Amino acid sequence: MAKQLIVAASIAAMTAGVIAQQPAAKDPQPFVSDSASADADAARAAAVLAFWTTERMATAEALPIPTRIIAPGSEAVVERNVLGNPGLVNGNRPGQTYVEHKRSFAKGSAEANMFGQAQSYGTAPTNPKDGPYGPFQRWAMEGNYLGGFRGIHGKLFFTMGGGSYVCSGTVVGRSTIATAGHCVSDGAGTFSTNFLFCPSYYNPTNTGGAPHPSRGCWAYTTVYVASNWHFNGDPDYDYGCMIAATTGTVVANKIGNVTGWAGRAFNFGASPIIEFGYPHAAPFYGNTIQQVATVEWYDWVATAGGQTSKVIGSDLTGGASGGGWFLGWGVGGYPYVEIPDVDASWGTDPADFGPYINGVNSHKRCVTNCQSPPTTTVGLFWEEMTSPPFRSDAADNQDSEDLFAVCLAHANNS
């Protein structure tokens, strides 16, 4: 518990200090990596597998979800600054040959609204006791964790500051895992280490869960994170990626060839969202995927000129950090049912190339401080979750699409 409090206090202090910070566009070092060399990365992957014994995995703790402290009454609902046309990049089903397709939509068009219908659900609460909170429903994902795209979700093990922790992640490329930046580094210039990603992690009879016997886990070779998070703790760049080794503990293949991988969505307005994660802190046990159906309730800015976050109703806890937000879910993407591909054409069946990741579990907000239970003037907004916006912006070389371009260019994705 002491380790959790230290990590939570560290990240909270960092995020509190950058609320109104304007990140520098076109940073000369937009993304940073812990990679040393190809040989060193291969040796690191082997060391990770030796490090994560069954006992260590069983005692890993939930990384606390960072908090972003605000002053009472200072928040304001804002209209998201969507800088370009909404766009989609297709994913890939297991065993299929991948050809990347991109498609953009005119803002407000019927096609764009098919994937991200604008929503309006009230105003930001002024305190955590009274709310209101955005509408959401949550349930544990049941059944086969291998079928369809279910295997793209996984549990991420790593070490930070001398402790062993868990987050969540999503397969978004042949060897690329998307997660939260605060799982990749502490926001003050120090990387986490010993990353191990276990897709389809599930055991309903084990309070901690276990790697799936037919999937196992993949060690990392390197990670990437936006400079604005790594050095400044800016929560609006709280995304990162892990590059997986080309073979796993059970399957001698690249992870995306086994699980498939998600497509991506960017520059969409407020939309219906399906959120995923492996919450490990009470009242959860970290042994099942928790799935939340919700809407992007509102965007908020803490101070004039500050950065915006997108907010949903959610009660997921520590360990869910880095879990994906999806613009629809299902074998066929959007809406939440399978859409059969009738002619193998991206142009006529774009939804069939989903589902599309559109955010990651990032942080929660606090008024004045983060005590729990809250009062009318202080405490944690416990039934909310925020994500940095997923964007493609020519003026910003640290947006989510730029990050994914760097990650997917790694040789392990070939």
| CA quadruple 368, 371, 372, 378: dihedral, nearest 10 | -20
Kindly report whether the peptide bond that precedes residue 132 is cis, defined as omega within 30 degrees of 0. Answer: yes
- pLDDT for the residue numbered 97: 83
- pLDDT for the residue numbered 405: 97
Structure pTM?
0.89
Answer whether 336's CB lies under 8 Å from 282's CB: no
For the chain, which residues score pLDDT lower than 70?
A: 1-27, 71-83, 114-122, 206, 208, 301-307, 330-353
Taken in order 395, 267, 171, 348, the sign of the CA dihedral is negative
Averaged pLDDT of the chain: 83
- Please give the DSSP secondary-structure letter assigned to residue 315: -
Angstrom CA distances, 141 to 278, 323, 330, 334, stand at 10, 14, 13, 18
- pLDDT for the residue numbered 93: 85
Q: Of all helices (H) and strands (E), which one includes residue 312?
A: strand 308-313
* pLDDT tens digits, one per residue of 233-248: 988 899 999 999 999 9
Q: Which of 309, 334, 325 is nearest to 276 (CA)?
A: 325
Angstrom CA distances, 95 to 151, 159, 261, stand at 13, 33, 11
Kindly report whether the peptide bond that precedes residue 66 is cis, defined as omega within 30 degrees of 0. Answer: no
Angstrom CA distances, 166 to 79, 109, 195, 260, 299, stand at 34, 40, 9, 22, 28
CA distance 331 to 4: 37
- pLDDT for the residue numbered 281: 94
* pLDDT tens digits, one per residue of 37-59: 888 888 899 999 999 999 999 99
